[in-house]
């Protein structure tokens, strides 16, 4: 289970996991593109290419935090009492 985020206007809810993200390790920048974070996906794709994929291990540890920060920028707020 992760943290639940709710948009302030649309009330749409999204759940963000915690810790290591296996999907990022397996799919790299495609996970970011699926979530709508196109520039970050491009950035991590280039870094993954330049490091022969080793950089994606580092990215997998911070991807969920980046996604949570991106949601907050888009108007989501963490739901308390989870």
35-45 pLDDT, tens digit per residue, is 999 999 999 99
Asked whether residue 13 is domain-assigned, the answer is no
Residue 2 lies in a domain: no
Q: What predicted TM-score, i.e. pTM, was given to this entire model?
A: 0.90
Q: Is residue 35 part of a domain?
A: yes
- Count the domains in the chain: 1
Whether 70 has a pLDDT exceeding 70, the answer reads yes
Euclidean distance between CA atoms 35 and 37, whole angstroms: 6
Q: Render pLDDT for 20-36 as a digit per residue (tens, 0 to 9).
A: 999 999 999 999 999 99
Query: Is 78 within a domain?
Result: no
11: in domain: no
Cβ–Cβ under 8 Å, residues 68 and 2: no
- DSSP-derived 3-state class of residue 10: coil
Please determine, for residue 47, whether its predicted confidence score (pLDDT) is greater than 60.
Answer: yes
Residue 65 included in any domain? yes
* Residue 9 falls inside a structural domain: no
Domain that holds residue 46: 20-73
């Amino acid at each position: 289970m992760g943290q639940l985020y709710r948009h302030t206007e649309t009330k749409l809810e999204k759940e963000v996991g915690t810790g290591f993200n296996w999907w990022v390790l397996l799919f790299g920048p495609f996970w970011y593109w699926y979530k709508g974070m196109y520039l970050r996906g491009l950035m991590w794709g280039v870094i993954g290419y330049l490091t022969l994929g080793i950089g994606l291990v580092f990215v997998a540890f911070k991807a969920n935090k980046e996604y949570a920060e991106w949601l907050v920028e888009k108007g989501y707020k963490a739901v308390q009492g989870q």
